[in-house]
Amino acid sequence: MKNKLIIYSLLALGVLTLIFLLIPRSKRSAGWDWMPDMRYSKAYETYQSNDFFYGIDDTMSARLPVSGTIPRGYIPNDPTIKTNESLLRSFLLKNEHNGYNQDSAYIKKQAEVAGLLQNPYKAGEVLDRGKEIYAVNCQVCHGEKGEGNGQIVELPGGADGPYGARPPAYTTRLPQMTDGAMFFSISYGKGSMGGYCSQISPSDRWKVICYIKDLAGIKEGGAPASTPADSTKVAMK
């Protein structure tokens, strides 16, 4: 009995000694790692170099999406969208142009889109929604009636506002544009205006176009002054 007590005491002392040795001496130390493969992830970090990309300029794990692709679930699971060619094309337009500088690439792509896209909505059906989106996103610059005198452009009383670039009135600019060209300009920006791809859904962009055409006095089905030649023959990529 006495021998067993000594053995148990030595075992307990050994366990206590082991525990004591495993306690880190510094508060900044994590101690010993018994299972380092579980503690330290083998996965590649998002903003670190990745072995798979060696030999090219950019080896970061986080990659930009391929131009022209859309994320899973980006197109709503709505039969009225998937069976409407004009509306479906407007969803597929994502990532078709980088930036909104009015360079040759912008002008070329806008000319392609101008003939490919047609507004799928009738103005009388969506003016209320178009007005709502316009008031939130556009009115601050373009003004309540589309005269280019929004509150950051022109202060009450007629004094200049904090933003110096005055957009043209819709009555002077929109009659020369197709619905597709308007959609492209709203999506990617034009002049000093940035793009609204991330702020306004494709469906709502079409509804805004109905509303601003109404502000400009363009009647339903009214043809623009000019249409880019042969643009309808260009296939979307």
Closest to 236 measured CA to CA, from 121, 99, 115: 115
Per-residue pLDDT of 156-185, as tens digits, reads 777 777 877 788 999 998 998 999 999 999
Tell if the pTM clears 0.85, that is, is over it.
no
Pairwise CA distance, residues 214 & 121, whole Å: 13
User: Within 50-94, where are the H helices?
Assistant: 79-82, 85-92
Let me know if domain 100-219 sits in CATH 1.10.760.10: yes
Per-residue pLDDT of 2-47, as tens digits, reads 777 888 888 888 888 877 776 666 667 666 677 777 777 667 778 8
Pairwise CA distance, residues 36 & 143, whole Å: 62
pLDDT for 226: 40
pLDDT for 100: 54
Mean pLDDT of 45-52: 81
Per-residue pLDDT of 111-164, as tens digits, reads 888 888 889 998 888 999 999 999 999 999 999 999 988 888 888 777 777 877
